[in-house]
Chains A and B, each alone.
Chain A
Amino acid sequence: MVSRVVTVVLAVGLFFSLLILAVGLADLRIPDDQQGYEPAQPIAFSHRLHAGELDIGCLFCHAGDEKSRYAGFPAASTCMYCHADVSATFGAVRAEAEAAEAEGRAVRRIVSTELETLYEALALDENMERDPAKTLTPIAWVKVHDLPDYTYFDHRAHASAGVTCAACHGPIETMERVRQEESLSMGWCVNCHRDGYQAEENGKSAYASVDCATCHF
């Protein structure tokens, strides 16, 4: 009887141990493999809306792509090209306009919660003027596609070779929140460097150096 209890307890213990191990193994990845990483951002910026629905080109915001090592994150001032005027979804603005008309009052300015964060960062008041009482607080975006420090990656070189943004970043225009689509592992990079990249624009294959010092120095 006692031995049976012990056996059952041990068996149950073993089962749970294996379960935990299996879960752990499923999540096991080589160091720095960030595939599928999809962190929350300080502002829930939707690439699906901007890059997909509105079809704004990548370089409108990530202007460094062809000029610099970094494609760059847009300055808050870039957002203000449009969001100085657009402060909420069309539906919300329309609803407010209708409500105001029904109630016979002036239309109030509607600001979405996400854009509120942007305006706070820029220390703007209700009239979209700089409020001296507020402090400027830069927006700290979370890097999704982040290579280790010992890897040098240069957007210019890839842009010049005709590599599209989607080749590494995946279908960004479909993502509500940006997710790391590819593994960005060294093997993944080297495959393309060695076997050549079929550029869509001119149909020519681009090959790149596989010397270590191409990326590591």
Chain B
Amino acid sequence: MSERKPKDYGKTRGVRGAGEVPAEPEGASPEEGRGVSRREFLAAAGFTLAGAVVAGCARAPVEKAIPYLVQPEHIVPGRAYHYASTCGGCASSCGVVVKNRDGRPIKVEGNAEHPLSRGGLCAVGQATVLGLYDSHRLASPLAGGRETTWAAVDRAVGERLAAIRAEGGAVRFLSGTEASPTARAEIERFLAGFASGRHVEYDTLSSAAILDAHERTHGARLLPRYHLDRSEVIVGVDADFLGTWISPVEYTAGYRAGRTLEGRPPRLSYHVQFESRMSLTGSNADVRYAVRPGDLGVVMDGLARRLAARAGVVVPGEGGGAEPFPAETLDRLAERLWRARGRSLVLCGSQEIQTQLRCNFVNHLLGNYGATLEVARPSFQRRGSDRALEELQRELNRGEVAALFVRDVDPVYDLPDGETWARAMKEVALTVSFAASVDETASVSAYVCPDHHYLEAWRDAEPAAGVFGLTQPALSPLGGTRAMIESLAVWRGEAKAAYDLIREHWEARVYPLAVPERTFRTFWERAVHDGYVEVATEAVAGGEFDMSAVRPGYEAPAAAEGAFALVLYPKVAIVDGHHASNPWLQELPDPVTKAVWDNYACLSPRAAAAQGLAEGDVVRVEAPGGTTAEFPVLVQPGQHDGVVAVALGYGRRETRRFAGIGPRWLEGRPTVEEGGVVGTRAAPFLAWENGTRRYLREGVKVVKTGKRHDLAITQGHHSLSVPPELATPGAETRPIVQETTLPAFVGNPAAGGHPHHNPAPGSREDLWPDDHKYPGHHWGIVVDLNACTGCSACVVSCQAENNLPVVGKDEVRRSREMHWLRIDRYYAGPEAAPTVVHQPMFCQHCDYAPCETVCPVLATVHSREGLSEQVYNRCVGTRFCEANCPYKVRRFNWFHYRRDDERENLVLNPDVVVRSRGVMEKCTFCVQRIQEAKIEAKRQGRAPEEGDIRTACQQSCPAGAIVFGDLNDPRSRVSRLAADPRRYDVLAELNLRPSVGYLRLVRNTA
């Protein structure tokens, strides 16, 4: 294919961004190259100084304090209140706790008691609080694109509906998976008033094939509830369950629970991933195989055949296509699965029903139904039906729909034939969108009736059978929005508040399921207080497996010679594009590619080299049927050579607003060109096949255009690597990440260590005086690399907690991203099949901090509790500290980052100062939380206890990978982990004595 020698990342994970495009030289100053003479400079400096003296000596600005007129009971200004609620970011409906300060939510955190999410929250959930203060949200309903009043909309919609009712016209309600049982019931009630009413659900990221396959094998269209914590062998086939697939927080928590090293022998599940591109889940797998997407079905078929042979069951038909790797691979895996019958789990993300049927068959043969995946009490996080959507589309095209209501989805954007939808919708007599802002579908709807943000609303959810979530408003609606169920109730002729509707529904449907609850009132109040209830429900499906559903013979689609398979995938932060207007998510580096503010065409290094393509070259992706789009190339190691992967969720009209984001200066380039959007929409490439939407196109051509497009990729930023020709032999790369295998770990818990990193006690020689004493607390963090999946929830959590600015793509390209916490991704091994490690990196709070010794103004100093403090009001911005920090965790405010949006500023944490230009900043271990806990403990006359202080990153982590605590307290969890034989310090050879320890990665491989 090519003459280029494949690169090998070697064994040591030490070079961040190895083999990637070198970043631009960091820190080119804005004034550079403008040719200001010394004289001019001095003159300007003199004026500035004089001005500063005059301004500085003035009185401080007059500040007002505006108290309540009538003080609400139990509210004390300045105190944070927490309300249990349910996340409305997606249909997973994780449990959250909303932190309210002075009447406004400022942070969304995971609810540790929630049975599904168990305390974690993903990046999207963390970012929803910024969505609340989105000033582009509609404040009133729209009729024909103009603002109007609810009374006018109700009158107009009511008249149209009356006419439709009289004519017997068809009314269709289109939504995503409707998580709320009350809303489902209300939609049914509303539609019951018409001769032909139907509720159609589809998921932008469809899992319809799983539901359809279960309809055939188990007689009920459902999504099983997966229990990864009970699984000892996990096989993922094209299912990114740790990143974007269905309910990643729940699965990550389960996955983590099944991978602990604390016990003897350790309980570490064995995870094998088959996939065509490098997903977050694949990057965490013990063993990963890059497979042509068409062969994923072959893999599943091969597994089914082998397991059937072991079980003595005859599978009809001949074997499918040729397996992409030696037969022993699947033989060994089948053997391993067979030995773990009832304790294994095969997950499949395919949209081919045949493959899903085989997946069900495999889980059935292994006796996993009822053990590691449940159909009796299934999950309701996906209900979408692609067949129902197809039917609706046909009806629309035939002009048979009289009224169309659209909620939570955006068919004009989501679906491949969006323009057809838009045209068809214009022919419909009544179109109503419930979108919060004018998205693609809302822009072609006659009426837009904006729903509340979930933090403003009463809502409920039923993410799994017997698990009910309740959402309570954390503030009054900021605009004149109205709950969807209230709108429906008005149009039905029975105006009622959402609160009453939900309460009535719960009293009638949920309360009877709760066994020993005294009164509905106590039940309801407990539900509001806890944010969820767990009740017993009746079995949905009998669990009888219908063998006849498994059809014979699997035919792998033939790969066209010289063509690529196009894989359309969701990115961790942007997912389906519903939150694309959220700048925190746009600026969150993708966990694998580390790119921000763009989607791109991922090609394997070999494929890119064969086409003569380098990173940033723009290619035209041409699919059969004439669909084309242009994307910049991103070289992705570990991807199958025959695959080009493009992310969905980009190119949304709502991202036009980012034209003005980031600082404006002479050399600044806009994140989005005027009138442009972030990335390119990839939805036109989606295909329909056999009643499911496919995220795969075969026979795609990738054509070089000769254009260039700069990608902003953070991985190589601030790298300290020495060119190999200059380094002393053996010191080219430092082992930043340490790892070992399970057998080695069982033999020796300290296996995989490095003598430099784990010196024998007493062997340490210090040039430093031992003058840092920690008489009280000594705060520290231990990060378990075995638990961390790289999901990046902590990065957004930190951004929300610490008022980190969004800088825009151009600044990120200049290595000026402001995230205090980054997750480094390291490759090792051959570039065709590298192993990946994700390592959270933030200020290590070194005892002998090199940043502190070089600060000329003592703006960074050491505290008596082990914190390396950054004092913003002292900092003069020399950036010496940044240069001297070996971990490269300091961030400099190059500009006054724009905070023009008054509405958006409401999200700022009032306990953390907003830094100004010319000031260095970095991770503080969430010192505001430490202070709050200490002061509160003091007020109560006690010492701070374990669990009082949880840093923002720790709180959000679905895997519990980050543990904060007092290293001086021998009983604290962090000091026990710090004494673990797996613990090592990054760059320990520098003897900086960091307060952050890492626990070595242990892979379940031989």
Contacts and interface: CB of A to CB of B under 8 A. Distances in A.
Given A34-B60, A140-B64, A75 B70 contact: yes
B895 interface: no
Interface string B887-913: 000000000000000000000000111
**In which size bucket is the chain A interface?**
35 or more
**Most chain B CB neighbours (cut-off 10 Å) among A39, A72, A143:** A72
A212 B871 contact: yes
A139 B67 contact: yes
A134 to B, nearest CB: 12
Nearest to B67: A73
A141 B76 CA distance: 18
Contacts of B939: 66-67, 156-157, 159-160
A136 interface: yes
B869 A76 contact: no
B57 A150 contact: no
A64 B64 contact: no
A215 B861 CA distance: 14
Interface in B558-615: none
A19 to B, nearest CB: 18
Contacts of B67: 72-76, 138-139, 141
B281 interface: no
B71 interface: yes
Contact of B69 (A77, A154, A161): A77
B878 interface: no
A213 B69 contact: no
A30 B59 CA distance: 9
B69 to A, nearest CB: 4
Interface residues of B, number: 41
Contacts of B924: 213, 217
A29 interface: yes
Contact of A157 (B78, B914, B935): B935
Contacts of B64: 140-143
Interface SS majority for chain B: loop
Interface string B59-102: 11011111111110000111100000000000000000000000
A146 B63 contact: yes
B927 interface: yes
A107 B688 CA distance: 86
Given A70-B78, A148-B60, A75 B69 contact: yes
A161 B871 CA distance: 25
Interface string B535-572: 00000000000000000000000000000000000000
B77 A217 contact: no
A64 to B, nearest CB: 5
Interface SS majority for chain A: loop
B869 A34 contact: no
B187 interface: no
A81 B70 CA distance: 11
Contacts of B867: 211, 213
B523 interface: no
B928 interface: yes
A136 B67 CA distance: 13
A105 interface: no
Contact of A154 (B66, B68, B76, B935): B935
B519 interface: no
A31 B57 contact: yes
B69 A121 contact: yes
A141 B66 contact: yes
A143 B58 CA distance: 17
A34 B59 contact: yes
Nearest to A61: B67
A135 to B, nearest CB: 11
A209 interface: yes
B66 A31 contact: no
Interface in B860-875: 861, 863-865, 867, 869, 871-874
A204 interface: no
A149 interface: yes
B79 A152 contact: no
B57 A28 contact: yes
Contact of A217 (B71, B874, B927): B927
A197 interface: no
B912 A217 contact: yes
Contacts of A216: 869, 871-873, 913
B928 A152 contact: yes
A76 B69 contact: yes
A63 interface: yes
Given A152-B911, A152-B931, A211-B867, A142 B66 contact: no
A217 B70 CA distance: 32
Given A70-B77, A70-B78, A217-B927, A150 B913 contact: yes
Contacts of B928: 152, 217
A69 interface: yes
A214 interface: yes
A195 interface: no
Contacts of A212: 861, 863, 869, 871, 874
A101 interface: no
A90 to B, nearest CB: 27
B66 A138 contact: yes
B776 to A, nearest CB: 9
A47 B56 CA distance: 32
A69 B909 CA distance: 14
Given A28-B57, A32-B60, A142-B62, A64 B69 contact: no
Given A66-B939, A150-B872, 6 more contacts: A73-B65, A76-B68, A140-B64, A152-B931, A160-B938, A212-B871
19 contacts: A30-B57, A31-B58, A31-B60, A72-B76, A75-B71, A122-B69, A138-B66, A139-B67, A143-B62, A148-B60, A149-B914, A156-B939, A213-B927, A214-B931, A216-B872, A217-B869, A217-B911, A217-B924, A217-B927
Interchain residue pairs A-B with the least CB separation, the first 10: A75-B71, A70-B78, A68-B78, A211-B863, A73-B67, A69-B78, A75-B68, A31-B56, A140-B64, A77-B70
